[in-house]
Amino acid sequence: MRMNRHVALIGDSIRLQAAPYVRERLPMSYQVHSPPENGKASGDMAARIQEWVPPNTFDIVHVNCGLHDVRREPGEQTPRRSPEEYVASLRCIFDHLAAKAGSVIWATSTPVDESLHGGIDMPRWHASDVVTYNLLSVELAIEYGFRINDIHGRLSGATQGLFMPDGVHFNHAGNQLIGHHIATAIQQVARRENIR
């Protein structure tokens, strides 16, 4: 009889909105835990990662953050957190996961559509910032030996009709697609590492 696989989904609002579709796509032997809180930026996640991923609790942890880090507040010319701050926070998160979790999957931040969002009094996201921070995060995740789920790469060029009006969050079809990519990555890791 196959044992349950315990999976944690940790991340920002993209993760929150995709979580129901991840559960739908995974077999019942996967017990999926997704905290109800938005993980927000890397610093916020670093402060709570020990709470969300207690030692030796999960077989697989799928984690993402970055969109809150690259957000530019009204009137600001640079992202909310510098690349150096982002990497430092990721190291705190990754140190904990490498020591206390099972298999770790790092997911890149999803694309944004600059043409859809933001007036002068609204936060803005630049697609180039997302790419830059994704490259930094993937390089670090590889250093830690984590698996990579390149959701950004899988969605880039194929997002027409998937965004909400803000150009950052996704509609029902978009969340279904993201959920599919997350569930697929989880099952691939379970098979490769013979997690039972």
When pLDDT is cut at 50, 70 and 90, the band that residue 1 belongs to is very low
Query: What mean pLDDT comes out for the span 14-34?
Result: 97
pTM: 0.94
Helices (H) and strands (E) in the chain, counts: 7, 5
pLDDT tens column, 47-74? 999 999 999 999 999 999 999 999 998 8
pLDDT tens column, 114-142? 888 655 557 789 999 999 999 999 999 99
Do the beta carbons of residue 178 and residue 184 sit within 8 Å? no
Domains and CATH numbers, the chain: 5-192 (3.40.50.1110)
